[in-house]
Amino acid sequence: MNTMKKICLCLITLLLSLIAQGQTDVTSKITNPSFEDGTTGWTMSKMWTQGNDAISTYKAGNTYVERWMQSPGLIGCASVKQTITGLSNGVYRLTAAAMNTAQNNIQVGAWIVGNGLRTAVSTLNTYTLDFFVTDGTAEIGFVADGASGNWVGCDNFQLSYLGNTSNNIKSAGNIVKNYANSLISTYGSDTQYNSLISTLTTAINGGNLTTVANAAKAVVEGERAYRLRHPSGSAPTVTTNKRHARGSVWVFGRMSHTGSDVVEEGFCWSTSPNPTINDNHTTDWLDSNGKVIWM
């Protein structure tokens, strides 16, 4: 009897622990989370379904989505996204199998995403992202933008609801804050980026869902400009080809560059002189006797 009581007590303790964690599986809210119904429910851009066993350790079912190119750095922009409605407001955890590889070396330029927040993807693995829902809606998925690998892909999306408590909100906000502070430690202090982190810190202390969500998104969006102000590696030199094709919708052009540690290659444009990657930009290209970038 004492043994049975101990077992029951342990089970009750475990149950209460799971309830306290507040993690509820809501993967059913995702339409076709493992692509077994092809692209149903997803908006695809330059990715396609694949049924081989190349990522069999991580995929669910028979199908995943991918983009493959012959050489690293040729992926350009690609994505698969889905908008989910009817969600309770609060903090969610997105999990997915994903990759951004080139002979299994660590690569940059790809993420799993959720409502403006993101987790970087490199070698084939399971990746996790905590993000906020403030209006019952979530846009989730996988995005490549100037990916340095030659093979990107994803599968087996899962979604959990963590809750809408102050602790949930602060914990998710601190993930973004800690990542931002790690950038500062690596690349140096920056007045503008420090200001965004400070705003997020104040929001986290307050614990309001919408305020923390907006501040965290601003920090994520500010990373590109921060990295531009604090480059690493040798500065590249870029030469644009004066020949170009243009029409009412598309502009095509060529370029070449030198330098090391180049992680993106493309064109920037704006209605003002001297545009940067903080303005309109593209890494999209097509192959026609070499790389032709289009916008």
How many Å apart are CA 107 and CA 99, to the nearest integer? 9
Other Cβ atoms less than 10 A from the Cβ of 248: the count is: 4
**Chain Cα centroid distance, residue 254:** 28
Q: Tokens standing for 72? A: 């690293």
Q: Which residue has the higher pLDDT, 295 or 15?
A: 295
**Chain Cα centroid distance, residue 201:** 22
Helix (H) or strand (E) holding 200: helix 191-206
The backbone region for 27, taken as left when phi is positive above 0, alpha when psi lies in -120 to 50, beta otherwise, is: alpha
Instruction: Write down the pLDDT at residue 248.
Output: 55
Give the pLDDT mean for 80-98.
98
Q: Which residue type sits at 138? A: A
Residue 217 has pLDDT above 90, yes or no: yes
pLDDT tens figures, 224-259:
889 888 887 776 777 776 666 666 566 777 777 676
Give the pLDDT mean for 203-232.
93
Instruction: Write down the pLDDT at residue 49.
Output: 96
Q: Are 184 and 208 in contact (CB under 8 A)?
A: no
Instruction: Write down the pLDDT at residue 293.
Output: 74
Radius of gyration in angstroms for the set of CA atoms belonging to the chain, rounded to a whole number: 22
What is 21-163's CATH number, 2.60.120.260, 3.40.50.150, 1.10.3720.10, 1.10.1060.10? Answer: 2.60.120.260
Q: Are 259 and 236 in contact (CB under 8 A)?
A: yes
Residue 270 has pLDDT above 60, yes or no: yes
Domain segments of the chain as ranges = 21-163, 169-229, 237-294
pLDDT tens figures, 2-17:
444 443 334 334 333 4
* Average per-residue pLDDT for the chain: 85
How many Å apart are CA 104 and CA 180, to the nearest integer? 26
The full DSSP string for 107-151 is --SEEEEETTEEEE--SSEEEEEEEEESSS-EEEEEEEES-SSSE
The full DSSP string for 45-64 is ES-EEE-SSTTTTT--SS-E
Instruction: Write down the pLDDT at residue 288.
Output: 63
b/e map of 254-293 (b: 16 or more CB within 10 Å)?
beeeeeeeeebbbbeeeeeeeeebeeebbbbbeeeeebbb
Instruction: Write down the pLDDT at residue 4.
Output: 41
Would the pTM count as exceeding 0.75? yes
